[in-house]
Amino acid sequence: MRILHTSDWHLGQKLLNFDREEEHALSLDWLANEVRDKQIDILLVSCDIFDIGNPPNWARKRYYSFLAQLIGSPCRHVVITAGNHDSPPMLDAPRELLEALHIHVVSAAPENLADELLILNGPDGLPEAVIAAVPFLRDRDLRLSEAGESGYDRIAAVSEGMKAHFDAVAALAAPYRHLDIPFVAMGHMYASGAKASDPQNNIYIGNVENMAAEDFSGLFDYVALGHLHRAQQVGRKRHVYYSGSLIPLSFNEMADDKSFYIIETEGRAIKSVQAVPAPTFRRLKTIEGNIEEVKDALTAFQAKKEMD
């Protein structure tokens, strides 16, 4: 089986005053072609589909256009989890329609934790993969606030709450462990040992990691993370990866190699994890071809910042 792991599309994003519509369109068209050409069976999109909760119409259209391109492709299932930039109600709106197309969306921590556990069936109707589709977990999903707690108390409570959440989903998946199929977890966090392109590492508080690679249950054969935009493996003993963003989303990312991962499985075994380089369609045009325009935009941005 071939599983493709991508994340952090941030559709609708602007870089200073520059619209990114063309870059996103080229990137997702390329990704849809890769899904077909590389005979992908399952596509995982780990969080931050959109850049803002109320994205522009072109961003929504691009999202649905991409999903439509997968109809009739070798890809049998798409699993999408929401990030901290996404609006759960907006992602949930077409949920029933998308499920009929084997596109599974988990937009927020559900009341029934079992709704995060997806048993994906193959063409023969038998299970072919178990996915713990954990979206961005908000503060209220992880802990109860207590009067007088310090920042350190909150950090510890978030970390413990996150570990407990993943352990609980793993416990729900455990009855299927006799099946010789891959078990995959998805998540949106700042994992210990990962390197970020920008200083906005932690979604919750401070510059502190939420979980380590070793904190994920050994039941999971692969952990597909989103949030950090730099593609990388976390830890060396486990298959825990950030796929990173498909395009550079800040000037700090211009030198980063963008990619997605293809995970080859045979039963429960992970045969290989291959990084597939993503083309940067607009890098030269944006930075070198329009250097004066970029300088003007930076000057205007700095002036506005000083006025504020």
Closest CA to 106 of 75, 141, 73: 141
Q: What is the mean pLDDT of residues 81-103?
A: 95
Q: What is the mean pLDDT of residues 209-233?
A: 91
Number of domains in the chain: 1
Q: Kindly state the DSSP code that residue 287 receives in the 8-state scheme.
A: I
**CB-side neighbour CA atoms (13 Å) of 83:** 26
Question: What SS3 state is found at 71?
Answer: coil
pLDDT band at 285 (very low <50, low <70, confident <90, very high): very low
The mean pLDDT of the chain is 87
pLDDT band at 286 (very low <50, low <70, confident <90, very high): very low
Q: Please tell me the pTM assigned to this model.
A: 0.86
**CB-side neighbour CA atoms (13 Å) of 282:** 20
CB atoms within 10 A of CB 7: 30
Q: Which of 75-79, 148-152, 177-181, 187-191 has the lowest mean pLDDT?
A: 148-152
CATH number where 73 lies: 3.60.21.10
Q: Which domain holds residue 269?
A: 2-307
Output the pLDDT for position 212. Answer: 86
Q: Which of 167-181, 256-270, 274-288 has the lowest mean pLDDT?
A: 274-288
pLDDT at residue 153 tops 70: no
pLDDT at residue 292 tops 60: no
CA dist., res. 142 & res. 158, Å (int): 6
Q: What is the mean pLDDT of residues 99-112?
A: 95
Are the C-beta atoms of residues 277 and 257 closer than 8 Å to each other? Answer: yes
pLDDT at residue 49 tops 80: yes
